[in-house]
Structure 1
């Protein structure tokens, strides 16, 4: 049986973006099924002791920028450490990814493209025109944006968020295999090792 990875994330995280291509390559190489779970970290942070970026101590904010630059250089993945359009809401983008997943879209490509829009192109991912452009460029219908705002899709995001909370997720990205959590794109080596033993 193919291993399954529950992938808890937000499309606006720089760490999600930095790890996206490598994560998907690892999953493909292992023949793993990826269960995409764009969740609401506005609910997860308060429940797990986390803080949204603007509320973190200045020292933590400064070190985050240092680490972003280090990892960008280390991975050869360019990004703007402080895009002018960040922080920004992630709800519509997350809901659109859920709708796209249900429609059978190329989720690996879309997840990476959503991150690229924020961290390389400095675009507003919560703008419907941005989402429509990305969807169209990756063979998905812009109509998914309307479907994304249905009660059904919103309920799915709530369900995924509850699943994250019950699993112990507290940050993005988190990859879960057989109940074991791997938090952060810097844990992809360990995830790859886990999959090789599955």
Structure 2
């Protein structure tokens, strides 16, 4: 039986960036179907007790940087701890990925998601800027029309549906992976995701 994974993430999340390529490899190896679902943490945090980064206690903010450095070194992934464009609004990129997932399928959406996450954390690009998103579409060989479609009602409706699906699934942070109703939170749970997909 082919398993389905609901992949919930925020497009500006460093943890989603660190886990993205590993998740894609795991999903491919298991021949899993992935539903790519960028979500709005700004709507999820108030329901789950989460706090935006700037409102967290100083010691939590400091430890976050320690862990990001550890993970980027362990995984061999470049990561700027203080990117030029962060915090950054995730809505434009979430709408774009949602439209690409709907029109072009999961594989295209996964490629674009990886490019968006890398744009923030490795390339110093502004993912809230339409010109940046147009460049990422072009680099990925995707239809330039997707940008305008993402700015229309269709894009917002799809993105809103992903956020609601996350809420319904009990998601409270990013990234999160849901398999047969079972929630796995965080890129550091990918070993468990892999075992679940292989079970």
Is the structural similarity TM-score above 0.5? yes
Which TM-score tier does this pair reach, normalised by the shorter chain? over 0.9
Deviations for 1:80-112, whole angstroms, at most 9, x for unmatched residues?
A: 011121001000000000111122152222111
User: Of 148, 151, 155, which aligns to 2:150?
Assistant: 148
User: Of 168, 175, 178, which aligns to 2:177?
Assistant: 175
1:127 corresponds to 2:136: no
- TM-fit CA distance, 1:10: 1.1
Counterpart secondary structure, 2:35: strand
1:29 corresponds to 2:29: yes
Which residue does the alignment assign to 2:71? Answer: 71
- Give the structure-1-normalised TM-score: 0.97
- TM-fit CA distance, 1:130: 0.6
1:191 corresponds to 2:193: yes
Q: Flag as ranges the 4+ runs of structure 1 deviating above 4 A.
A: none
Counterpart secondary structure, 1:66: helix
Equivalent residue runs for 1:64-103 within 5 Å? 64-103=64-103
Q: Give distance in 1, aligned partners of 2:57 and 2:144.
A: 39
- Give the structure-2-normalised TM-score: 0.96
Counterpart secondary structure, 2:7: strand
Q: Give distance in 1, aligned partners of 2:53 and 2:184.
A: 21
User: Of 114, 124, 135, which aligns to 1:112?
Assistant: 114
Q: Give distance in 1, aligned partners of 2:37 and 2:110.
A: 13
- Tell me, yes or no, if the aligned pair for 2:98 and 2:109 is still in contact at 8 Å: no
Tell me the C-alpha RMSD between the 2 structures. 0.9
